Amino acid sequence: MTEPIPAPASAHTTGWTRFLPQAAAVLLTALFLPVTLANLRDQYGIDIGVALTLAVTQCGPLLMVARRPLWAWWIIFPADIAGALVLLGKPAREYDVWPWPPAPLIACLFLLLALALRRSRRVLVAVWLATAAASLILHLVRADRSNGSALLLPLFAAVVLVIGAAVRERRVAQRRLAEQETVSEAERARRTLLEERARIARELHDVVAHHMSVITVQADSAPYRLPELSDEAREEFGTIAASARESLTEMRRLLVVLRGDGAEGERAPQPGIDRLQQLVEATVRAGLPAELSLAAQLGEVPPAVDLSAYRIVQEALANVVRHAPGAPTRVSVTSDEGQLTVLVVNSPPKQPVSPLESAGTGHGLVGMRERVRLTGGSLDAGPLPDGGFRVAARLPLSPAGPDDAP
Protein backbone atom coordinates (compact mmCIF):
# COMPACT_ATOMS: atom_id res chain seq x y z
CA MET A 1 0.00 0.00 0.00
CA THR A 2 1.14 3.56 -0.67
CA GLU A 3 2.43 5.98 1.91
CA PRO A 4 -0.19 8.04 3.75
CA ILE A 5 -1.04 11.49 2.49
CA PRO A 6 -0.31 13.97 5.26
CA ALA A 7 -3.17 16.12 6.37
CA PRO A 8 -2.72 19.72 5.22
CA ALA A 9 -1.45 21.92 8.01
CA SER A 10 -3.50 25.01 8.56
CA ALA A 11 -1.85 28.29 9.35
CA HIS A 12 -4.33 28.69 12.21
CA THR A 13 -3.79 25.22 13.72
CA THR A 14 -1.68 25.98 16.73
CA GLY A 15 -1.51 25.03 20.39
CA TRP A 16 -4.13 22.69 21.75
CA THR A 17 -6.04 22.44 18.46
CA ARG A 18 -3.34 20.11 17.14
CA PHE A 19 -4.49 17.50 19.65
CA LEU A 20 -8.13 17.54 18.55
CA PRO A 21 -7.82 14.50 16.17
CA GLN A 22 -6.21 12.38 18.89
CA ALA A 23 -8.80 13.55 21.41
CA ALA A 24 -11.54 12.48 18.99
CA ALA A 25 -9.89 9.06 18.65
CA VAL A 26 -9.80 8.62 22.42
CA LEU A 27 -13.45 9.66 22.67
CA LEU A 28 -14.51 7.16 19.99
CA THR A 29 -12.64 4.35 21.73
CA ALA A 30 -14.10 5.23 25.12
CA LEU A 31 -17.59 5.27 23.59
CA PHE A 32 -17.58 2.13 21.45
CA LEU A 33 -15.52 -0.21 23.63
CA PRO A 34 -18.04 -0.57 26.52
CA VAL A 35 -21.01 -0.46 24.13
CA THR A 36 -19.57 -3.29 22.03
CA LEU A 37 -18.71 -5.34 25.10
CA ALA A 38 -22.21 -4.96 26.53
CA ASN A 39 -23.79 -5.73 23.14
CA LEU A 40 -21.82 -8.95 22.62
CA ARG A 41 -22.33 -10.16 26.19
CA ASP A 42 -25.96 -9.22 26.79
CA GLN A 43 -27.64 -9.49 23.39
CA TYR A 44 -25.62 -12.31 21.85
CA GLY A 45 -24.79 -14.21 25.04
CA ILE A 46 -21.03 -14.46 24.43
CA ASP A 47 -18.79 -15.34 27.38
CA ILE A 48 -17.24 -12.33 29.07
CA GLY A 49 -13.67 -13.34 28.15
CA VAL A 50 -14.43 -13.80 24.45
CA ALA A 51 -16.63 -10.70 24.40
CA LEU A 52 -13.90 -8.62 26.02
CA THR A 53 -11.30 -9.90 23.55
CA LEU A 54 -13.53 -9.09 20.57
CA ALA A 55 -14.46 -5.66 21.96
CA VAL A 56 -10.81 -4.72 22.51
CA THR A 57 -9.71 -5.87 19.05
CA GLN A 58 -12.72 -4.33 17.31
CA CYS A 59 -12.63 -0.94 19.10
CA GLY A 60 -9.22 -0.55 20.78
CA PRO A 61 -7.38 0.22 17.50
CA LEU A 62 -9.61 3.28 17.09
CA LEU A 63 -6.92 5.01 19.15
CA MET A 64 -4.76 4.94 16.00
CA VAL A 65 -7.28 6.52 13.58
CA ALA A 66 -5.74 10.00 13.98
CA ARG A 67 -2.24 8.88 12.93
CA ARG A 68 -2.33 5.35 11.48
CA PRO A 69 -5.87 4.59 10.25
CA LEU A 70 -4.69 1.86 7.86
CA TRP A 71 -2.93 0.01 10.68
CA ALA A 72 -6.15 0.23 12.69
CA TRP A 73 -8.11 -1.21 9.75
CA TRP A 74 -5.73 -4.18 9.46
CA ILE A 75 -6.63 -5.08 13.07
CA ILE A 76 -10.32 -4.13 13.21
CA PHE A 77 -11.43 -5.68 9.91
CA PRO A 78 -10.14 -9.23 10.71
CA ALA A 79 -11.52 -8.84 14.24
CA ASP A 80 -14.98 -8.01 12.80
CA ILE A 81 -14.83 -11.11 10.60
CA ALA A 82 -13.76 -13.22 13.60
CA GLY A 83 -16.65 -11.76 15.59
CA ALA A 84 -19.09 -12.71 12.84
CA LEU A 85 -17.77 -16.30 12.89
CA VAL A 86 -18.05 -16.44 16.70
CA LEU A 87 -21.68 -15.30 16.48
CA LEU A 88 -22.45 -18.23 14.18
CA GLY A 89 -21.91 -20.52 17.16
CA LYS A 90 -24.74 -18.85 19.03
CA PRO A 91 -28.41 -19.46 18.32
CA ALA A 92 -30.12 -16.79 16.26
CA ARG A 93 -32.61 -14.55 18.04
CA GLU A 94 -35.36 -12.37 16.67
CA TYR A 95 -33.51 -9.05 16.96
CA ASP A 96 -29.97 -10.29 16.31
CA VAL A 97 -28.03 -8.54 13.53
CA TRP A 98 -25.51 -10.65 11.66
CA PRO A 99 -22.73 -10.63 10.43
CA TRP A 100 -22.07 -7.03 11.54
CA PRO A 101 -23.56 -6.04 14.91
CA PRO A 102 -24.58 -2.36 15.21
CA ALA A 103 -21.74 -1.12 17.46
CA PRO A 104 -18.84 -2.65 15.48
CA LEU A 105 -20.51 -1.56 12.22
CA ILE A 106 -20.72 2.09 13.29
CA ALA A 107 -17.17 1.99 14.69
CA CYS A 108 -15.97 0.60 11.37
CA LEU A 109 -17.64 3.48 9.51
CA PHE A 110 -15.78 6.03 11.65
CA LEU A 111 -12.57 4.15 10.88
CA LEU A 112 -13.29 4.25 7.13
CA LEU A 113 -13.96 7.98 7.33
CA ALA A 114 -10.58 8.58 8.98
CA LEU A 115 -9.01 6.34 6.36
CA ALA A 116 -10.60 8.31 3.51
CA LEU A 117 -9.23 11.56 4.93
CA ARG A 118 -5.64 10.26 4.94
CA ARG A 119 -5.15 7.70 2.16
CA SER A 120 -5.11 7.68 -1.63
CA ARG A 121 -8.02 6.67 -3.82
CA ARG A 122 -6.38 3.36 -4.77
CA VAL A 123 -6.12 2.32 -1.11
CA LEU A 124 -9.75 3.25 -0.50
CA VAL A 125 -10.92 1.16 -3.44
CA ALA A 126 -8.93 -1.83 -2.16
CA VAL A 127 -10.39 -1.43 1.34
CA TRP A 128 -13.94 -1.23 0.01
CA LEU A 129 -13.46 -4.28 -2.23
CA ALA A 130 -12.16 -6.28 0.74
CA THR A 131 -15.13 -5.14 2.84
CA ALA A 132 -17.65 -5.98 0.12
CA ALA A 133 -16.02 -9.36 -0.55
CA ALA A 134 -16.10 -10.34 3.13
CA SER A 135 -19.74 -9.27 3.43
CA LEU A 136 -20.70 -11.23 0.32
CA ILE A 137 -18.90 -14.39 1.44
CA LEU A 138 -20.46 -14.29 4.90
CA HIS A 139 -23.87 -13.70 3.37
CA LEU A 140 -23.45 -16.72 1.06
CA VAL A 141 -22.25 -18.90 3.95
CA ARG A 142 -25.41 -18.29 6.00
CA ALA A 143 -27.91 -16.57 3.77
CA ASP A 144 -30.69 -17.74 6.11
CA ARG A 145 -29.20 -15.80 9.02
CA SER A 146 -28.12 -12.67 7.16
CA ASN A 147 -30.91 -10.14 7.55
CA GLY A 148 -29.52 -7.27 5.49
CA SER A 149 -26.57 -6.36 7.66
CA ALA A 150 -24.21 -7.95 5.16
CA LEU A 151 -25.33 -5.38 2.57
CA LEU A 152 -25.43 -2.42 4.94
CA LEU A 153 -21.69 -2.26 5.58
CA PRO A 154 -20.59 -2.17 1.88
CA LEU A 155 -23.32 0.37 1.10
CA PHE A 156 -22.56 2.69 4.02
CA ALA A 157 -18.81 2.18 3.51
CA ALA A 158 -19.06 3.37 -0.10
CA VAL A 159 -20.90 6.52 0.96
CA VAL A 160 -18.44 7.30 3.78
CA LEU A 161 -15.38 6.65 1.61
CA VAL A 162 -16.67 8.85 -1.21
CA ILE A 163 -17.46 11.73 1.17
CA GLY A 164 -14.14 11.43 2.99
CA ALA A 165 -12.16 11.21 -0.26
CA ALA A 166 -13.95 14.30 -1.61
CA VAL A 167 -13.11 16.26 1.54
CA ARG A 168 -9.47 15.12 1.44
CA GLU A 169 -9.03 15.96 -2.25
CA ARG A 170 -10.57 19.37 -1.67
CA ARG A 171 -8.14 20.06 1.20
CA VAL A 172 -5.20 18.87 -0.90
CA ALA A 173 -6.31 21.11 -3.78
CA GLN A 174 -6.60 24.09 -1.42
CA ARG A 175 -3.14 23.42 0.00
CA ARG A 176 -1.60 23.13 -3.46
CA LEU A 177 -3.38 26.30 -4.55
CA ALA A 178 -2.02 28.15 -1.50
CA GLU A 179 1.49 26.87 -2.24
CA GLN A 180 1.17 27.93 -5.87
CA GLU A 181 -0.05 31.36 -4.84
CA THR A 182 2.96 31.71 -2.53
CA VAL A 183 5.32 30.73 -5.35
CA SER A 184 3.54 33.05 -7.79
CA GLU A 185 3.73 35.93 -5.33
CA ALA A 186 7.45 35.38 -4.82
CA GLU A 187 8.00 35.14 -8.56
CA ARG A 188 5.92 38.28 -9.12
CA ALA A 189 7.96 40.17 -6.54
CA ARG A 190 11.19 38.97 -8.13
CA ARG A 191 10.01 39.95 -11.61
CA THR A 192 8.91 43.36 -10.33
CA LEU A 193 12.32 43.91 -8.77
CA LEU A 194 14.12 42.95 -11.99
CA GLU A 195 11.86 45.20 -14.08
CA GLU A 196 12.49 48.15 -11.81
CA ARG A 197 16.24 47.56 -11.83
CA ALA A 198 16.23 47.40 -15.64
CA ARG A 199 14.19 50.59 -15.82
CA ILE A 200 16.54 52.39 -13.43
CA ALA A 201 19.54 51.12 -15.39
CA ARG A 202 18.07 52.50 -18.61
CA GLU A 203 17.57 55.91 -17.00
CA LEU A 204 21.02 55.98 -15.38
CA HIS A 205 22.54 55.19 -18.77
CA ASP A 206 21.82 58.73 -19.91
CA VAL A 207 23.50 60.14 -16.83
CA VAL A 208 26.65 58.02 -17.14
CA ALA A 209 26.78 58.37 -20.93
CA HIS A 210 26.84 62.14 -20.61
CA HIS A 211 29.89 62.09 -18.35
CA MET A 212 31.67 59.51 -20.48
CA SER A 213 31.02 61.60 -23.59
CA VAL A 214 32.48 64.66 -21.86
CA ILE A 215 35.57 62.66 -20.91
CA THR A 216 35.98 61.48 -24.51
CA VAL A 217 35.65 64.98 -25.96
CA GLN A 218 38.04 66.48 -23.41
CA ALA A 219 40.61 63.74 -23.97
CA ASP A 220 40.39 64.04 -27.78
CA SER A 221 40.59 67.85 -27.75
CA ALA A 222 43.38 68.10 -25.17
CA PRO A 223 46.25 68.06 -27.76
CA TYR A 224 44.60 70.96 -29.63
CA ARG A 225 43.74 72.98 -26.55
CA LEU A 226 47.12 72.40 -24.91
CA PRO A 227 49.78 72.50 -27.66
CA GLU A 228 52.64 72.33 -25.13
CA LEU A 229 51.77 68.74 -24.18
CA SER A 230 54.52 66.18 -24.48
CA ASP A 231 54.22 63.15 -26.74
CA GLU A 232 53.72 60.90 -23.69
CA ALA A 233 50.85 63.09 -22.45
CA ARG A 234 49.26 63.15 -25.92
CA GLU A 235 49.46 59.36 -26.03
CA GLU A 236 47.95 59.11 -22.55
CA PHE A 237 45.02 61.35 -23.53
CA GLY A 238 44.49 59.21 -26.62
CA THR A 239 44.35 56.09 -24.46
CA ILE A 240 41.83 57.76 -22.14
CA ALA A 241 39.63 58.74 -25.11
CA ALA A 242 39.78 55.22 -26.56
CA SER A 243 38.86 53.67 -23.20
CA ALA A 244 35.95 56.08 -22.80
CA ARG A 245 34.64 55.28 -26.28
CA GLU A 246 34.96 51.54 -25.61
CA SER A 247 33.07 51.95 -22.31
CA LEU A 248 30.27 53.80 -24.11
CA THR A 249 30.05 51.04 -26.70
CA GLU A 250 29.85 48.35 -24.01
CA MET A 251 27.24 50.34 -22.09
CA ARG A 252 25.03 50.70 -25.16
CA ARG A 253 25.39 46.97 -25.85
CA LEU A 254 24.26 46.15 -22.29
CA LEU A 255 21.43 48.65 -22.60
CA VAL A 256 20.06 46.73 -25.58
CA VAL A 257 19.88 43.61 -23.38
CA LEU A 258 18.16 45.49 -20.55
CA ARG A 259 15.56 47.00 -22.85
CA GLY A 260 14.45 43.58 -24.04
CA ASP A 261 12.69 42.62 -27.23
CA GLY A 262 10.89 45.44 -28.95
CA ALA A 263 11.50 47.93 -26.11
CA GLU A 264 12.34 51.50 -27.00
CA GLY A 265 14.53 53.66 -24.82
CA GLU A 266 13.26 57.02 -23.66
CA ARG A 267 14.62 59.75 -25.91
CA ALA A 268 13.49 62.77 -23.87
CA PRO A 269 15.90 64.29 -21.35
CA GLN A 270 15.60 62.78 -17.89
CA PRO A 271 13.74 64.97 -15.37
CA GLY A 272 15.17 66.25 -12.11
CA ILE A 273 14.40 68.39 -9.09
CA ASP A 274 13.98 71.47 -11.30
CA ARG A 275 10.82 69.91 -12.72
CA LEU A 276 9.17 69.09 -9.40
CA GLN A 277 7.12 72.29 -9.53
CA GLN A 278 5.61 71.22 -12.85
CA LEU A 279 4.93 67.75 -11.46
CA VAL A 280 3.10 69.10 -8.40
CA GLU A 281 1.10 71.57 -10.49
CA ALA A 282 0.00 68.78 -12.80
CA THR A 283 -1.05 66.73 -9.77
CA VAL A 284 -3.10 69.65 -8.43
CA ARG A 285 -4.85 69.98 -11.79
CA ALA A 286 -5.69 66.28 -11.54
CA GLY A 287 -7.68 67.00 -8.35
CA LEU A 288 -5.12 66.27 -5.62
CA PRO A 289 -4.49 69.21 -3.22
CA ALA A 290 -0.70 69.20 -3.05
CA GLU A 291 1.92 71.78 -2.11
CA LEU A 292 5.67 71.85 -2.67
CA SER A 293 8.37 73.15 -0.34
CA LEU A 294 11.71 73.35 -2.14
CA ALA A 295 14.85 74.65 -0.45
CA ALA A 296 16.37 77.67 -2.14
CA GLN A 297 19.93 76.37 -2.04
CA LEU A 298 20.32 72.63 -2.49
CA GLY A 299 23.92 72.76 -3.58
CA GLU A 300 25.34 70.59 -6.31
CA VAL A 301 23.10 67.54 -6.80
CA PRO A 302 24.58 64.52 -8.64
CA PRO A 303 22.60 63.54 -11.74
CA ALA A 304 21.66 60.10 -10.34
CA VAL A 305 20.35 61.67 -7.11
CA ASP A 306 18.57 64.39 -9.11
CA LEU A 307 16.73 61.77 -11.18
CA SER A 308 16.00 59.53 -8.19
CA ALA A 309 14.49 62.41 -6.18
CA TYR A 310 12.15 63.29 -9.02
CA ARG A 311 11.07 59.66 -9.55
CA ILE A 312 10.43 59.12 -5.83
CA VAL A 313 8.17 62.18 -5.63
CA GLN A 314 6.45 61.15 -8.86
CA GLU A 315 5.69 57.63 -7.60
CA ALA A 316 4.62 58.84 -4.15
CA LEU A 317 2.13 61.32 -5.67
CA ALA A 318 0.86 58.63 -8.03
CA ASN A 319 0.23 56.34 -5.05
CA VAL A 320 -1.76 59.06 -3.30
CA VAL A 321 -3.89 59.60 -6.41
CA ARG A 322 -4.54 55.86 -6.73
CA HIS A 323 -5.15 54.90 -3.10
CA ALA A 324 -6.23 58.14 -1.34
CA PRO A 325 -7.72 60.47 -3.97
CA GLY A 326 -8.34 63.96 -2.64
CA ALA A 327 -6.01 63.62 0.35
CA PRO A 328 -4.02 66.81 1.15
CA THR A 329 -0.35 66.15 0.34
CA ARG A 330 2.87 67.96 1.21
CA VAL A 331 6.11 67.55 -0.75
CA SER A 332 9.36 68.79 0.77
CA VAL A 333 12.92 68.68 -0.61
CA THR A 334 15.77 69.92 1.57
CA SER A 335 19.51 69.36 1.95
CA ASP A 336 21.48 69.09 5.16
CA GLU A 337 24.89 67.69 6.05
CA GLY A 338 25.55 66.23 2.64
CA GLN A 339 22.12 64.58 2.44
CA LEU A 340 19.19 65.38 0.20
CA THR A 341 15.92 64.71 2.06
CA VAL A 342 12.77 64.04 0.04
CA LEU A 343 9.56 63.94 2.08
CA VAL A 344 6.05 63.22 0.75
CA VAL A 345 3.28 63.08 3.37
CA ASN A 346 -0.43 62.79 2.71
CA SER A 347 -3.26 63.11 5.23
CA PRO A 348 -6.35 60.90 5.05
CA PRO A 349 -9.01 62.12 2.57
CA LYS A 350 -11.33 64.76 4.04
CA GLN A 351 -14.34 62.81 2.78
CA PRO A 352 -14.73 59.03 2.46
CA VAL A 353 -13.81 58.04 -1.08
CA SER A 354 -13.23 54.78 -2.87
CA PRO A 355 -9.62 54.18 -3.97
CA LEU A 356 -9.09 54.13 -7.71
CA GLU A 357 -7.18 50.87 -7.20
CA SER A 358 -7.94 48.39 -4.41
CA ALA A 359 -4.61 46.61 -4.85
CA GLY A 360 -1.36 47.86 -6.33
CA THR A 361 1.18 46.02 -8.44
CA GLY A 362 3.97 46.52 -5.92
CA HIS A 363 6.18 48.35 -8.43
CA GLY A 364 6.05 51.71 -6.62
CA LEU A 365 7.79 50.95 -3.34
CA VAL A 366 10.10 48.46 -5.05
CA GLY A 367 11.22 51.14 -7.49
CA MET A 368 11.73 53.68 -4.71
CA ARG A 369 13.83 51.27 -2.64
CA GLU A 370 15.96 50.32 -5.62
CA ARG A 371 16.65 53.94 -6.53
CA VAL A 372 17.58 54.77 -2.95
CA ARG A 373 19.77 51.67 -2.68
CA LEU A 374 21.62 52.46 -5.89
CA THR A 375 22.46 55.95 -4.65
CA GLY A 376 23.51 54.70 -1.19
CA GLY A 377 20.64 56.34 0.68
CA SER A 378 17.81 55.20 2.93
CA LEU A 379 14.02 55.05 2.58
CA ASP A 380 11.30 55.09 5.21
CA ALA A 381 7.75 54.50 3.96
CA GLY A 382 4.66 53.51 5.90
CA PRO A 383 1.22 54.50 7.20
CA LEU A 384 0.71 57.21 9.81
CA PRO A 385 -1.43 56.88 12.97
CA ASP A 386 -4.03 59.32 11.59
CA GLY A 387 -4.59 57.22 8.46
CA GLY A 388 -2.21 59.06 6.15
CA PHE A 389 1.00 57.84 4.55
CA ARG A 390 4.60 59.03 4.66
CA VAL A 391 7.50 58.54 2.26
CA ALA A 392 10.88 59.84 3.43
CA ALA A 393 14.07 59.32 1.42
CA ARG A 394 17.58 60.49 2.30
CA LEU A 395 19.98 60.54 -0.64
CA PRO A 396 23.70 61.31 -0.27
CA LEU A 397 24.94 64.30 -2.27
CA SER A 398 28.46 62.90 -2.33
CA PRO A 399 29.25 59.80 -4.45
CA ALA A 400 28.36 56.58 -2.62
CA GLY A 401 27.70 53.00 -3.56
CA PRO A 402 25.00 50.63 -2.35
CA ASP A 403 27.33 49.15 0.22
CA ASP A 404 27.60 52.53 1.90
CA ALA A 405 23.90 52.68 2.63
CA PRO A 406 23.01 52.62 6.30
Distance CA 100, CA 81 (A): 8
pLDDT 10s digits, 374-404? 888 999 998 999 889 999 999 998 765 444 4
The pLDDT of residue 67 is 86
Residues of the chain with pLDDT under 50: 1-13, 263, 265, 356-361, 401-406
CA of 272: how far to CAs of 12, 275, 315, 385, 397, in Å? 49, 6, 14, 32, 14
Distance CA 148, CA 314 (A): 79
The pLDDT of residue 359 is 46
Distance CA 229, CA 305 (A): 36
C-beta separation of 83 from 104 below 8 A = yes
Amino acid in position 244? A
pTM above 0.85, yes or no: no
The pLDDT of residue 254 is 63
DSSP per-residue codes, 250-265 = HHHHHHHHHH-TT---
